[in-house]
Amino acid sequence: MSHLLKIPNFLWAFVVCVLLSYELTCGYDTGGGIVEGKLNVHLVPHSHDDVGWLKTIDQYFIGSNNSIQVACVENVLDSVVMSLLRDPNRKFIFAEMAFFRRWWLIQSAGIKNQVKKLVSTGQLEFVNGGWCMHDEAATHYIDMIDQTTLGHDLIKSNFNVTPRAGWQIDPFGHSAVQAYLLGAELGFDSLHFARIDYQDRAKRKGDKSLEVVWRGSKTFGSSSQIFTNVFPRHYSPPDGFNFEVSGVFEPVQDEPLLFDMNVEKRVNDFINASLFQANVTRTNHIMWTMGEDFKYQYAESWFKQMDKLIHYVNMDGRVNALYSTPSIYTDAKLASNISWPLKTHDYFPYANNGDSYWTGYFTSRPALKGYVRSLSGYYLASRQLEFLVGRRNNGPNTFSLGDALGIAQHHDAVSGTAKQHTTNDYQKRLAIGALEAEAVVNSALSCLTSSTSNCTISTSTFSQCPLLNISFCPPAENIPSGKSLVIVAYNALGWNRTDVIRIPVKDANFVVQDNEGNTVEAQFIEFDNITSNLRSFYTEAYLGISPEDVPKYWLLFQASVPPLGWNTYFVTQTPGKGQYVSVADHTPQNDTIEIGPGSLKMLFSLQSGQLKRIINSRTRIDLPIQQSYLWYGSGSGNQPSGAYIFHPSDSPPVIVSRSVPVKVIRGPLIEEVHQQFNPWIYQVTRLYKDKEHVEFEFTIGPIPTDDGVAKEVITRITADMVTDKLFYTDSNGRDFLKRVRDYREDWPLEVTQPVAGNYYPLNLGMFTTDNKTELSILVDRATGGASLSDGQMEIMFHRRMLYDDHRGVGEALDEIVCGNSTCQGLAIRGNYYLSIDHVGNGSRWRRTTGQEIYSPLLLAFTHETQDDYKASHSTRSTTMDPNYSLPPSVALITLQELEDGSVLLRLAHLYEAGEDVHFSTLVKVELKKMFAAKSIKTIKETSLSANQDKSAMKRMPWKVEGGSGSEPPTVRGGPIDPSALVVELGPMEIRTFILQV
C-alpha cells in the first residue's frame, strides 16, 4: 500500500500545516500587500446586516424567526472575531452599530480586549459607523446626522478610532447630501455603494467612470468632494465566489489525499473574473466585495477559501490578491496619481430595468414616514430641554428615542420597504422612546417654569397630546370646574415665532388669556365628520379606548413664543359663547367663492368647487391655478407596483372628482374651504390672517381595492406658468437640485417610464418657476414628487397595493388597521403648504417655513387656577438673552448634553450660495447671548459627528478630469475665538462644537 502514499513533491507545497495547540492551522501565505505593476485584487470581507427588513432587528440579532430568513448577526460577530484571531492578515469590515452595540454589551472583558486589538491593528474596520445604513431618499439630514453621531460616539468611546469610509452599499439611489455632508464633512475619504440606474451603470462601465470624484454641493464644490466607488455589479462577490457555508459553491480542493483537486481551475476562475472587472475599472486596483446579506454566520467557510485563493493566486503570479478594506483600497487609488471623472448632482431616481423604477418607496407607508418626521422634531426639542435642566443619570432620558429614531433611518425602515410585522416593531420602538422623552419634557418644563430654584420639587404635572392631529387631547377636553387649562408652548427655534394653536374642546364657552391676563383673540370651528370618525376609530385601534364624549369644536388662537423659550396661555370657561364661533358660509359670491382673512386670497368655482386662482394683494401676484386629486392604477404584467417600485398602468391617472362639494368656514384668524373629493379623500384648505401661504390638510383612506385595482394617490397642482421642463426638489431637506423632465445630466436617457422615471424624493419640498413667479410646495414628511407638464407639480400621498413587486419583501403593501371589532385599510392625515412669490423671493418662505414645519411648537398641558399658577411659575421666558435671537438664516439643529456632561452644539446655515441676495451671506452667532444663563468654559470644533477635532481632518488631494477650472470662492466661517465666542457660518455650512459649560 505504500505506493499509494507516494505524492509528487510539488503538491506538498500546496499544504504546509503545523499543529498549534489543539487546532490544525494551515500555513497559507496571506500576508502579501499591494504589488506594483500587477493587477491588485482587494478582497473586502463584509456582511450586509439590515437593521430590520424581513425580520425585526432583535430577531435578526439573535437568529429567531428563521422560517422567514436564516440570519443571526450575533453568530456573524462571534464567528468573525474568532476567525480574525486565527490569522493576523485576515480583515473584516462592519457597518451597523445598532447591532454591534447589542453584541458588545454582552461580551466578556477578555473578548472586548481582543476586539480592541483587532480594531487597533486594522483587522476589524468600522465603515460608515452609523446606527444603521440609512436610507438616502426618505431621510432628513438632521436624522442622518443624529444616527451617524450615535454610532460614531460608540466607536470613539470604546475604540478611539474614526471611520474613514462611507459604506452605503444597499440604499436605492444616492443623494447629494450623502456625498458632501454625510461623507466629506464627516471626515470620510471615500464612499462606496452598489445601486445606480441600469442605464447609468452601462454607460459608466463602458467608459470606466464607475469610480468618480463626487462634488455633491454647488456651494462647496471641490472643498467637500469625495472619492466614490460604484461597484460594477451588486455588493456580492463575482459568480462562483460566494462561500457561505449553507450555499452552493466549488471550494478550493488542495488536499492531495483527496480526489477532485482543482487548484489550477479555481485560480484561473479567479484571474478571469479579475481581468473582466479590470476592464471596467481604472488603475491596477479592483475591489471584490466578499460578502452579502447576513453572511459569515460561519466565518471560516469564507476565510478558508480566501486564504487558499490568496495563496495560490499569488503563487501563480499573474495577478495579486490581498485582504483589504475600503481604506486600503482608497489609499491605493489615490497613490495611482491619475485624474478621475467628475460627478455632480445625485443618483436619483434608481431603476434596475426599464419597467422597474424604485420611486414608489419615496411614499410607501406614509403614516410611518409622518411619525418618524414628527418624532425627529420632537427629539430635537426634547434634547434641548434635557440640556437646559441638566441630564439625569437616573430616570428617563432621551437616548431611547434617539436609539429608535436611529434604527428607523435604516434603508428598509423609513423607506417603507420592510414586512408589516417589522414595521410594527419600528413603530413600537418609536412609541416607547417617545413616551420616555415625553417624561423628560414634562419634567424639564415643570422645572424651567417653576419660580423656585429647587427642581426636585415639581410644582406642576404636565401632560401632552401626541394624537392631537386626530383631535384626541384629554387635558383640553376635560377641564375641571374652577380651573383653567394651562398651555405651555415651547419654541425650539432660535427666533421668535407666531403660530396658531388648535385644541379640541367640548363647547365654545371658553376664553383665552395670555401670560399677562390679556384676552387673546380666539376662534371656534365645529368638528367635521371626517375628524370625528378618525378620532373614534384610531383611539380604539391605538389606545384600546372608545371615548364617549366627542369634542364639538376646534379652539384656535394665535401664540407668540420667544426663541428657545416658552409662553403660557390660559383657557378658562366663561358664561355664554366664546368670542367667535365660525359657521358654514352659504352666501354665494356670483360664481366664485373667495376666502382669505389676510393679503392672500383663494378663489374657488361655486359650480365645481375647484380652486381657480390665488392672489396676493401685497405682492400683486395673480396666478390662475388648479388643484385636484388623482390616482394611478398599478401596472399589470410581470412588474406590478409594490413597496419599492412605482409602475403605473399605461392609462392616464384617474381624476377623483371634477365636481366637489364645498363648505366654507370664515373667521378672524382662519378661513377654510372643506372639500369632499370622494368618500375616502377629504381636504381642508386654510388661509391664516398673518401668513402668506396656503395650508392644505388632507385625509386619505381607507383606499378601496374591492375593484381589484391597486391605487397610488396624488395631488396635482397646475398653474398658468411656462416652466420649460424645469423644477427643483430638495436633497434630504437641505440643498435644492434642478430637475429636468425626461433628462439625466450623466447620460442620454432612454425614456421607458415617463411617469415613474420623473419622480424624485421630497423631504422639504419642491418648486417650479418661470420668468415672473415661483410656485413652491412644502411637505410634512418624506414623499415623492414630479413635474410631468409645464406649470404642473404633483405629489404622491398614499399607496395601497395588491401584489408584491418581487424585490424581496414578499408581501403586498397593504396596510390594515384593526379596532376592537373591525379592520380597514390605513387612513392618513397630513399637511402640505403652498406659496407664490416673485422670482428669486421664494427661498425665504421655503427655508423659514420649512424649519417651522420640522420644529412645531411643543405643547404641554396642566390644570390650575390662573392666580395659583402665576404665583408659582414663570409664564414667559427665553433661555437666550431676551434681546437676542439667531439670524433668520441660521438653525439650531443640535443642543444636547452628553453622558460625560459636555454639550454638543450644531448650527446650520439654511441657504445655499446665491440662493437669496440677502441671506446667502456670512452670518454670526453670539454664543454668549445664546447661552445667556450659562458660562462657556471651553469650546472645541469637531467633525460633523463630533468624533474628531476639526483641525485633525485632512482632505485627500484628488485630481479631477476637467476640474482645473476656476470655482467661485467658498465662503466658510473662520476659527472661533474662545474669548469672544462668536461663530461665523457661510452659506450651507454646518458647524459642530463640544462645549464645557
CB–CB of 901/946 below 8 Å?
no
Burial (Cβ within 10 Å: 0-12, 13-18, ≥19) of residue 664 = buried
Confidence (pLDDT) at 604? 96
pLDDT of 723 reads 96
> What are the φ and ψ backbone dihedral angles of 956, each rounded to 5 degrees?
-75, 135
First to last CA, the chain: 83
Cβ-contact 990, 908 below 8 angstroms: yes
* CA triple 184-189-190, angle to 5 deg: 95
How many whole angstroms separate alpha carbon 919 and alpha carbon 936? 28
Residue 438 in contact with residue 833, Cβ under 8 Å?
Answer: no
- The set of residues, in sequence order, having a beta carbon less than 8 Å from that of 516 and lying 6+ positions away, is none
- List CB contacts of 623: < 8 A, sequence separation 6 or more: 613, 614, 615, 719, 720, 721, 773, 775, 836
Q: Are 316 and 37 in contact (CB under 8 A)?
A: no
pLDDT digits (tens, 9 = 90+) for 838-853: 999 999 999 999 999 9
Contact 370, 828 (CB under 8 A): yes
- Segment 823-838, tens digit of pLDDT: 999 999 999 999 999 9
Predicted confidence (pLDDT) per residue in 686-739, tens digit: 999 999 999 999 999 999 999 999 999 999 999 999 999 999 999 999 999 999
Side chain identity, residue 900: D
**Cell 422615471 belongs to which residue?**
757
Report how many helices (DSSP H) and strands (DSSP E) the chain contains, helices first.
Answer: 19, 53
For Cα atoms 40, 43, 45, give the angle at the middle one, nearest 5 degrees: 165
**Residue position matching grid coordinates 474568532:** 82
Task: Tell me how far CA of residue 461 lies from CA of 442, 456, 863, in angstroms.
Answer: 7, 13, 9
DSSP structure class, residue 621: E
Task: Tell me the pLDDT tens digit for each residue of 322-380.
Answer: 999 999 999 999 999 999 999 999 999 999 999 999 999 999 999 999 999 999 999 99
Mean pLDDT, rounded, for 303-325: 97
Q: Cα 171–173–175 angle (5° rounding)? A: 105
Model confidence band, residue 934 (pLDDT cutoffs 50, 70, 90):
very high
Write down the pLDDT at residue 581. Answer: 85
Instruction: Retrieve residue 369's grid coordinates.
Output: 414616514
pLDDT at 578: 65
Sheet arrangement for strand 522-526: 497-505, 553-561, 522-526, 581-582
Distances from the Cα of 837 to the Cαs of 33, 616, 671, 735, 765, in angstroms?
A: 60, 9, 21, 19, 15
Question: 457 falls in which pLDDT band (50, 70, 90)?
Answer: low
* DSSP SS3 for 277: helix
Residue 973 one-letter amino acid: G
Q: How far apart are CA 365 and CA 135, in angstroms?
A: 14
Q: Are strands 600-605 and 226-230 parallel, antiparallel or unpaired?
A: unpaired
Q: d(Cα 841, Cα 919) in Å, to the nearest integer?
A: 11
Q: Is residue 456 very low, low, confident or very high in pLDDT (cuts 50, 70, 90)?
A: low
Residues facing 560 on adjacent strands: 498
Calculate the CA dihedral of residues 502, 508, 514, 516 and round it to 10 degrees. -170
Report the percentage of the chain scoring pLDDT > 90.
90
Residue 879 sits at φ, ψ, to 5 deg, of: -85, -5
CB atoms within 10 A of CB 547: 15
pLDDT in tens, 108-118: 999 999 999 99
Q: What pLDDT does 249 receive?
A: 93
List pLDDT tens digits, range 121-150: 999 999 999 999 999 999 999 999 999 999
Measured at the CA of 837, the angle between CA 836 and CA 839, to 5 degrees, comes to: 130
- Residue 913 Ramachandran class (φ > 0 left, ψ -120 to 50 alpha, else beta): beta
How many angstroms separate the CA atoms of 776 and 773, rounded?
A: 10
Q: State residue 5's pLDDT score.
A: 34
434 pLDDT exceeds 50? yes
Burial 769-785 (b: 16+ CB within 10 A, else e): bbeebbbbbbbbbbbbb
C-alpha cell at 775: 410656485
Number of Cβ within 10 Å of residue 840's Cβ equals 12
User: What's the pLDDT at 8?
Assistant: 39
Catalytic residue among 87, 153, 170, 412: 170
pLDDT at 458: 61
Residue pLDDT, tens place only, 352-362: 999 999 999 99
Which triple of cell numbers denotes residue 367?
403614516
Q: What predicted TM-score, i.e. pTM, was given to this entire model?
A: 0.95
What is the per-residue pLDDT across 744-783, written as a single tens digit (0 to 9) for each? 999 999 999 999 999 999 999 999 999 999 999 999 999 9
Q: What is the mean pLDDT of residues 82-107?
A: 98
pLDDT digits (tens, 9 = 90+) for 856-876: 999 999 999 999 999 999 999
Smallest Cα–Cα separation from 680: which of 824, 863, 465, 886?
A: 824
Task: For residue 735, indicate whether it is catalytic.
Answer: no
CA distance 193 to 211: 10
Residue 714 grid coordinates = 396624488
Q: For residues 962 and 853, give the distance between their C-alpha atoms in angstroms, rounded to a whole number.
A: 41
pLDDT tens digits for range 390-423:
998 888 999 999 999 999 999 999 999 999 999 9
Residue 389 clears pLDDT 90, i.e. is over it: yes
Give me 209's grid cell.
467612470
CB 582 within 8 A of CB 665: yes
Contact between 326 and 167 under an 8 Å Cβ cutoff? The reply is: yes
Contact 940, 994 (CB under 8 A): yes
Report whether pLDDT(640) > 90.
yes
DSSP letters spanning 514-581: -TTSPEEPEEEEEPPHHHHHHHHHHHHHHHS---S----EEEEEEEEE-TTEEEEEEEEE-SS--S-E
pLDDT tens-place string over residues 527-583: 999 999 999 999 999 998 888 788 999 999 999 999 999 999 999 999 876 678 887
Q: How far apart are CA 687 and CA 672, in angstroms?
A: 7
Cell of 832: 402640505
Per-residue pLDDT at 19: 30
- 10 Å Cβ neighbour count for 13? 12
Joined grid coordinates for residue 918: 440677502
Residue 588 preceded by cis peptide, ω within 30: no
